[in-house]
Chain A
């Protein structure tokens, strides 16, 4: 069983559309949506939820006002600016609390409670392309890295159970905690980028991260015809960094249109774009079988 993670560094390059298209092309796949901050894959896959559960991670401090003596010790020790002081009435701002428990431990009158924090929900669903492992992080919640790990773990369990040969994982943008949680231990990474100065800048950073974890990676330039000069530079950089150029996708309105129809790009287009994405998918599959 092989796991391919699709990431982008820069957001909005077409990562999710490409992931969904791969899901429709693959015959034996479990799909994982690890962009738990802003999960969109379900809008195209329309999955029916079969199993779900609450994702709890870390703890949340809260002040019992009846016990608080307004000494300000919590505010003094908190490094996350989470303690608010309104004329001597202290409270914890939920979205700022890191869940470290320092205020809880040092409160002289034990006025601070420390409860498990519900951060989101996970789902195992059925879709027309197979099982989907996905999740939803609650508004402003933390620890998306841990939820990413949970989504991947559940995808892997399902892939073994169903004897599938592939996991296609739609990853988050950026290079931080959720991205690191998405790629560690996977077999290969596909970076979907765009030929802009920002896309180029972000590609170098994300490719360096992937190299840092010694993972094989592919690069695909979406909307390559917006700037062919930068496309060539990105492909040159990919080879320099030891990656494989997987292909180029031209600018096409079909990406937005298929989204509006709640279809994958490869379902709503049977011509050029489908063939291009299919050849990229086949190239990656072929290479991954030899990794």
Chain B
């Protein structure tokens, strides 16, 4: 069972909700895996007492040209949709920074002079925290493309319950992270920005034909418009978490919602049951 935690807007408490949900589920289940797919800024490890088990480099494939055999035919440049290859003075020139690793150029080269080599773009780290297993992807500084790393982190789905902490936004990294989840939780806040970005995320999830519900964080800090929208659109509000300076201070020190206040812990335990039921309905 895969449950993804996403949000259009950043900073709504997505990671704290992911960690809290994973902790609540780990109380009742043998093995729960949390995947930190917010690879540009992964933070779940900061909210868990955990120890590092392993660290593996992650690489993507980029083309490498054996120029001595290149005939300058230009078929590689023609197939590349990302303008990574140009033919200059009857020889191909590769700009690997733009490469999307589709493999087209090496497949199409008639002289077989383009091979694929590994180019590191990030690191995958595994942590253990009691019954909870955390797998984190972290993108190297200066690398533009996060989806391949997100796809690699998402291969770790052998546990019965998998929670995915997704990147914010609604474009390719978010789509890659939520894809194939049984249920998605959108974490939002009751503000105009929160509502606007949530509606974008709702449109994306509906286009992907996914089932989802909403968690409203700092639920008493703004106005009614998020709840009104959910009612109108028939979207289930799974949980509301009230604003509290104590929770904010605890979070600043790395304490997730689950451990910040006893009543929030209870709310998470009951919400986790609802969420598992909803995900089960999809399967």
Query: Which one of A12, A98, A101, A106 contacts B9 once the chains associate, using CB atoms below 8 Å?
Result: A12
Number of A-B contacts (CB under 8 A): 191
Contacts of A98 in B (CB 8 A): 100, 102
A47 interface contact, C-beta 8 A: no
Q: Mark B46-71, 1 if CB is under 8 A from A, else 0.
A: 11000000000000000000000000
Of A174, A195, A201, which one neighbours B43 at CB under 8 angstroms? A201
- The one of B151, B168, B193, B245 that contacts A16, using a Cβ cutoff of 8 Å: B193
Assuming the contacts A59-B81, A172-B169, asked whether A205 and B41 have C-beta atoms less than 8 A apart, the reply is: yes
Q: Which of B166-214 contact A (CB under 8 A)?
A: 167-176, 179, 191-193, 196-197, 200, 203-204, 206-208
Chain A CB count within 10 A is highest, among B167, B172, B203, for B172
A196 touches B170 (CB 8 A): no
B103 touches A79 (CB 8 A): yes
Cβ 8 A contact of B249, one of A101, A175, A226: A226
- B169 engages A37 (CB within 8 Å): yes
CA distance A262 to B252 in the complex (A): 29
B72 at the interface (CB under 8 A from A): no
Chain A residues lying within 8 Å of B192, measured Cβ to Cβ, are 40, 43, 259-260, 262
Nearest Cβ on chain A to B15's Cβ, whole angstroms: 7
Closest 4 interchain pairs by CB? Answer: A11-B10, A12-B11, A100-B102, A37-B169
Residue from A58, A100, A176, A262 in contact with B144 in the complex, judged by beta carbons closer than 8 Å = A176
Q: Across the interface, which residues of A come within 8 angstroms of B101, CB to CB?
A: 79
From known contacts A100-B81, A198-B15, infer whether A142 and B171 are also in contact, taking CB-CB under 8 Å.
Answer: yes
Decide: B221 and A256 in contact? CB cutoff 8 A: yes
Most buried by A among B15, B40, B103, B249: B40
Closest to A98 in B: B100
A140-B208, A175-B139, A209-B142 known; A201 vs B197 contact (CB < 8 Å): no
A288 at the interface (CB under 8 A from B): no
Contact check, A102 vs B79: say whether CB atoms are below 8 A apart.
yes
A139/B79 in contact, CB under 8 A: no
* 8 A Cβ contacts from B3-55 to A: 8-12, 15, 40-41, 43, 46-47
Question: How far, in Å, is A192 (CB) from chain B's closest CB?
Answer: 11
Beta-carbon contact of B170 and A175 below 8 Å: no
C-alpha spacing A175/B143, complex, angstroms:
8
Residue pair A197, B173 in contact (C-beta under 8 Å):
no
Given the contacts A38-B200, A197-B252, A260-B191, A212 and B169 also touching, CB distance less than 8 Å:
no
Contacts of B175 in A (CB 8 A): 95-96, 140
Which A120-177 residues sit within 8 Å CB-CB of chain B? 137, 139-145, 172-177
Within 8 A of A (CB), among B75-128: 79, 81-82, 100-104, 107-108
Given contacts A58-B81, A176-B173, contact A95 B179 (CB under 8 A): yes
Q: A58-B81, A139-B200, A260-B191 are in contact. Are A37 and B170 (CB under 8 A)?
A: yes
Q: Are A174 and B167 in contact (CB under 8 A)?
A: yes
Distance in Å: Cβ of A7 to nearest Cβ of chain B: 11
A81 at the interface (CB under 8 A from B): yes
- Taking the closest CB of chain A, its distance from the CB of B209, in whole angstroms, is 10
| B230 → chain A closest CB, angstroms | 18
Instruction: Note all chain B residues with C-beta closer than 8 A to A77.
Output: 103, 107
Number of residues from B at the complex interface, CB < 8 A: 61
Report Cα–Cα, A146/B68, bound state, in Å.
Answer: 35
Instruction: Flag whether A243 is at the interface (Cβ < 8 A).
Output: no
CB-nearest residue of chain B relative to A145?
B144
B223 at the interface (CB under 8 A from A): yes
**Residue A247 at the chain B interface, CB threshold 8 Å:** no
| A208 in contact (CB, < 8 A) | yes
Bound together, the chains give a CA A251 to CA B196 distance in angstroms of 23
Complex-state Cα separation, A96 to B102, whole angstroms: 13
Question: Is A202 located at the chain interface by the 8 A CB criterion?
Answer: yes
Decide if B145 is an interface residue (CB 8 Å cutoff). yes
The complex places the Cα of A209 from the Cα of B142 at a distance, in Å, of: 6
Taken together as a complex, chains A and B put the C-alpha atoms of A94 and B179 apart, in Å, by: 12
Q: Which residues of A contact B139 (CB under 8 A)?
A: 175-176
A105 and B249: CB pair below 8 A? Answer: no
A98-B100, A172-B169 known; A139 and B203 CB under 8 Å?
yes
Q: What is the distance, in angstroms, from B180's C-beta to the closest C-beta of chain A?
A: 9
Question: Which of A38, A80, A198 meets B168, CB within 8 Å?
Answer: A38
Complex CA gap A108/B168 in Å reads: 39
CB of A175, distance to nearest CB on chain B (Å): 5
Closest CB in chain A relative to B85 CB, distance in Å: 13
Chain A contacts with B in 168-200, Cβ cutoff 8 A: 172-180, 194-199
CB distance from B63 to the nearest CB of A (A): 13
Sample of 5 further A-B pairs with CB below 8 A, known A96-B176, A99-B81: A139-B200, A143-B172, A209-B142, A212-B142, A256-B221
